[in-house]
A and B are shown apart, each in its own frame.
Chain A
Amino acid sequence: MRHMGIFLKWDTVLLYRNRLFHIALLIALIYTGIFFLLKPLGSLTRILVVLIFNDPVVTGYIFGGVIWMFDKNQHTLQAVSVLPANRRHYLLSKILILSLLAVMVSLVMAIATRGLDFNVFHLVISVFFSSFLFSAVGFAVAALSRGFNEFLLYSVPFFIISAIPMLYMFGIGEIMYFIPLPTTGCIEILRASFTSLNSWYLLIMYCQMFIWAVISWRVVVRVTQKRQV
């Protein structure tokens, strides 16, 4: 646990030094701007869900990959590998930091657009897990890619799959067809922070989301352990 604390502390410092913190805030401002531009078009809640969900997906994936590549290019992965520390702590810390950053950004966006008129709990949990899922994917894909271009190319299918469950929100298809997709839980819980949804339904979505978080964690641990050097 002490090691986890050290990782968290320095990952926060690095987030700031690498300007990722600043970029995240800038993105929040841009998204909020887009929201106000789209406001006249109608259904605000859905637009807000699309925008807020998009942020942890894109920044989680990109930042996760960028952080992995920073460490790889600086060869710091090697240096960390010969510390008496658990490699999982190293990974978990980075994923947690990115998830917390995403939560912060989403709160800025939600408050700027809705004031305090939303369910904070659902929003925080949903954004946290969306970012968890996608920073894990970002790390894993970066570890398997040979360069940044390849990493960006692979992002396309992931982003498309992540967006498919939104169709349901726009009234297309039955929920059971969407349940197996990784982001359905995240999106539905995010929606629940702006509209009220059935409790049983939410419970299922929470379970779905946890299961995918566990799967993504397993995958990233496996993939990155093979690619330490």
Chain B
Amino acid sequence: MLKVENLFFHYPGNPDNTLKNLSFSIGKGEIFGFLGPSGSGKSTTQKILYKLLGGYSGKILFEDIPLGQWGTGFYERIGVSFELPNHYIKLTAVENLRFFGSFYRKKAGSIADLLKQVGLAEEGDKPVSEYSKGMKMRLNFIRSLLHDPDVFFFDEPTTGLDPIYAGKIKQMIRELKDRGKTIFLTTHNMFDADQLCDRVALLHLGEIRAIDSPYNLKMKYGKPGVMVTKKNASLETFNFPMTGLGKNREFLKILNENEVVSIHSQEATLEEVFVKLTGDQLV
């Protein structure tokens, strides 16, 4: 569906490359994620792919046709949910959706229906200036669904949302996948990446350090372990690797001391994978 080869990019006025030799492809019906800390180049990559930024070098193909050859018809095919709210604040949510929606040939569900799905049914006739950040982000998200496109770009779609709505958005993303849609999302939240993505690319300082399914990445780089907290004078925490736990003397000693407060098994996380590959934290 989407293929990127040897993509380099630098912002005008900054000679250093913001994106360094990115290559990846996204298959039809796949949820592909960019996981990386702030400033790693996630949004920049997406902006290039939906043609907001030009002047890159490298090859980008959308359905085997170079991006540059696509006209405005390209935008009938894609839906974009930006990382920052961008609506006409003097218009109501319904008016915003009507305005943006009227440019497309194809219409998805009704506006009322979309608003209802993200809990904005009651606030549809309020001007967006009276919306909270989270409400604006939900509006951003449903605006990308207006014309029922084939490919979605979601730039940190759950940022600024409470857990309930973040969950709701994630569920809607999964439903899109079930309907055969292709999704490219960015996040710095390892749980989101883990739960949603078929494959993730770990992005660090404009470079892809690994691409694989979350499961494979964790198997390959992660180390599951056990965290034990014991109490003598104060609380003390110890970490042990899962492998060879039954023969780990230190571990067995603590167990026998009868001072254990809690034991938690710790799965390998994408965070761990990221730290291992880059020496940096995700957030």
- Listed in ascending order, the chain A residues whose CB lies under 8 Å from chain B are 3, 6, 10, 13-14, 17-18, 74-76, 78-79, 81-86, 228-229
Residue contact B89 to A74, C-beta cutoff 8 Å: yes
22 contacts between A and B (CB under 8 A): A3-B103, A6-B103, A13-B91, A74-B88, A75-B86, A76-B88, A78-B52, A78-B86, A79-B100, A79-B143, A81-B52, A82-B51, A82-B75, A82-B78, A83-B100, A83-B103, A83-B104, A84-B72, A84-B73, A84-B74, A84-B105, A86-B72
Q: How far is the CB of B32 from chain A (nearest CB, A)?
A: 19
Q: How many residues of B contact A (CB 8 A)?
A: 29
- Which of A14, A79, A84, A86 is within 8 Å of B104, CB to CB? A84
Residue contact A78 to B82, C-beta cutoff 8 Å: yes
Chain A residue with minimal CB distance to B90?
A17
Residue contact A10 to B99, C-beta cutoff 8 Å: yes
- Which of B52, B73, B84, B87 is within 8 Å of A82, CB to CB? B52
Q: How far is the CB of B103 from chain A (nearest CB, A)?
A: 5
Question: Which residues of chain B are within 8 angstroms of A3 by Cβ–Cβ distance?
Answer: 103
B130-158: CB near A (< 8 Å → 1, else 0) gives 00000000000001000000000000000
Residue contact B103 to A84, C-beta cutoff 8 Å: yes
Q: Does chain A have a CB within 8 A of B198?
A: no
- Which of B80, B84, B102, B105 is within 8 Å of A6, CB to CB? B102
CA of A17 to CA of B129, assembled, Å: 12
Q: Within B43-92, which residues are at the interface with A (CB < 8 Å)?
A: 47, 50-53, 72-76, 78, 80, 82, 84-91
CA of A204 to CA of B163, assembled, Å: 68
Chain B residue with minimal CB distance to A75?
B86
CA of A81 to CA of B78, assembled, Å: 12
CA of A61 to CA of B80, assembled, Å: 32
Q: How far is the CB of B149 from chain A (nearest CB, A)?
A: 10
Question: Which residues of chain B are within 8 angstroms of A81 by Cβ–Cβ distance?
Answer: 51-52
Question: Which residues of chain B are within 8 angstroms of A17 by Cβ–Cβ distance?
Answer: 90-91
Q: How far is the CB of A15 from chain B (nearest CB, A)?
A: 10
Q: How far is the CB of B208 from chain A (nearest CB, A)?
A: 23
CA of A75 to CA of B139, assembled, Å: 14
CA of A14 to CA of B95, assembled, Å: 11
- Once A81-B52, A229-B47, A229-B52 are accepted as A-B contacts, the answer to whether A76 and B87 lie under 8 Å apart by CB is yes
Most central of A18, A81, A83, A86 by chain B CB within 10 Å: A83
Residue contact A79 to B53, C-beta cutoff 8 Å: no
CA of A222 to CA of B103, assembled, Å: 24
Q: How far is the CB of A169 from chain B (nearest CB, A)?
A: 40
CA of A83 to CA of B90, assembled, Å: 20
Question: Which residues of chain A are within 8 angstroms of B143 by Cβ–Cβ distance?
Answer: 79
Question: Which residues of chain A are within 8 angstroms of B52 by Cβ–Cβ distance?
Answer: 78, 81-82, 228-229
The 3 closest A-B pairs by CB, nearest first: A75-B86, A17-B90, A84-B75
- Once A75-B84, A82-B75, A83-B75 are accepted as A-B contacts, the answer to whether A14 and B90 lie under 8 Å apart by CB is yes
Residue contact A14 to B91, C-beta cutoff 8 Å: yes
Residue contact A84 to B76, C-beta cutoff 8 Å: yes
CA of A83 to CA of B78, assembled, Å: 9
